[in-house]
A = this chain, B = another copy of it.
Amino acid sequence: MIYFRNDYSEGAHPKVLQALVETNLVSTPGYGCDEYCACARELLRERFACPNADVHFLVGGTQTNLTAAAAFLRPWEAVIAADTGHIAVHETGAIEATGHKVYVVPGVDGKLAPDAIRTAVRDHQTGTEEHMVLPRMVYVSDSTELGTIYTRAELQALSDTCRELGLYLYLDGARMAMALTAQGNDLVPEDFAQLCDAFYLGGTKNALLFGEALVIVNNALKPHFRNVMKQHGGMLAKGRLLGVQFAAILQDDLWLQTARHANELAQRLAAALTAMGVPLYAASPTNQVFPIFTNAQVEALRQNFSFEFIARVDENHSAIRFVTSWATRPEDVDALICAVRSL
């Protein structure tokens, strides 16, 4: 079985694992109050050019998103998200479990546009505001759940809109590295710190055993964040594992190299599929590819490949997803292309 199921099918990049092995017997304080985390925080502040940001390390993306919502919002405040947004669809109502509404608006290719935000805000300015939640945070992801990416102009426009409307812009960067290394991208890491109130750089999907680095730029969002982490079970006892891993992956921009590898293999696959006339459900320049096959073809591919079902397109066709990662081997992509060719 060859895995194209997701970008966390394997363990960690050898250099990351090596760093864990090397530091394994060092004694440190717990809960991220160690030197490795301090160092990784500093590296992140430098790389994203936000010397005053607070940086917190959490284990997973859902945990990071829900902790951010719980910490940043007051009870009557809501999050605006695209209909494809991870928090809207695939987190088992984690945000709602913290008491906050996710106000879902239509996305375009998985992306939010300023107009959708304006409409969402206007929908809550009807003279009956006391009877409605107050949209206060905008959730976007880059790359998105459909593999698409924001241009700098698009993110700038979102940021401008949010600032104008008094909204926090929160960016889920589970696959930020893939976005930054995609063809067509013109964002640089520094942009996220400049344009967002908070964002996280994902490690789980990019060569760490686990780990997301939440960067809080807006001072108003900083107080007592660690209390909220603990309250939601998100404060790792051996917190230094997160610092060690992020320090390793940040070294020499390894995080961008691993992402570039994933993107290249995915795009090789996408090009081959397109050349074979396989339609794509979404136009992703990153490490997710969404071909549409007949149901029979899907079943045939399942014999040797592991992947996810995404959507029923019509009675006979389904969209599926192939994901590559830092660990994907070129020969496995070749095998997949070959298998599709023989369908």
- Given known pairs A11-B241, A30-B5, A235-B62, the reply for A76 and B93 (CB within 8 Å) is yes
Copies of this chain present: 4
CA distance in complex: A232, B69 (Å): 12
Q: Which residues of A54-89 have CB atoms within 8 Å of chain B's CB atoms?
A: 59-67, 70-71, 74-76, 78, 89
Q: A134 near B: Cβ within 8 Å?
A: yes
Q: Decide if A341 is an interface residue (CB 8 Å cutoff).
A: no
For residue A231, give the distance in angstroms from its CB to the closest CB of chain B: 4
A75 near B66: Cβ-Cβ < 8 Å: no
Contact A93–B231 (Cβ < 8 Å): yes
Query: Which residues in window 194-243 of A have CB below 8 A to B?
Result: 204-205, 209-210, 224, 226-238, 241
> A238 to B210, Cβ gap below 8 A?
yes
Q: How far is the CB of A195 from chain B (nearest CB, A)?
A: 26
CB <8 Å contact, A234 and B231: no
Residue A253 is within 8 A (CB to CB) of chain B in the complex: no
Q: Which residues of B contact A204 (CB under 8 A)?
A: 237-238
Stretch at the interface among A17-25, A158-166, A260-268: A17-25
Contacts of A210 in B (CB 8 A): 236-238, 241
Which positions in A face B, CB cutoff 8 Å?
A: 1-3, 5-6, 8-12, 14, 17, 20-21, 23-31, 59-67, 70-71, 74-76, 78, 89-94, 96-102, 104, 126-134, 204-205, 209-210, 224, 226-238, 241, 306, 308-309, 311, 327
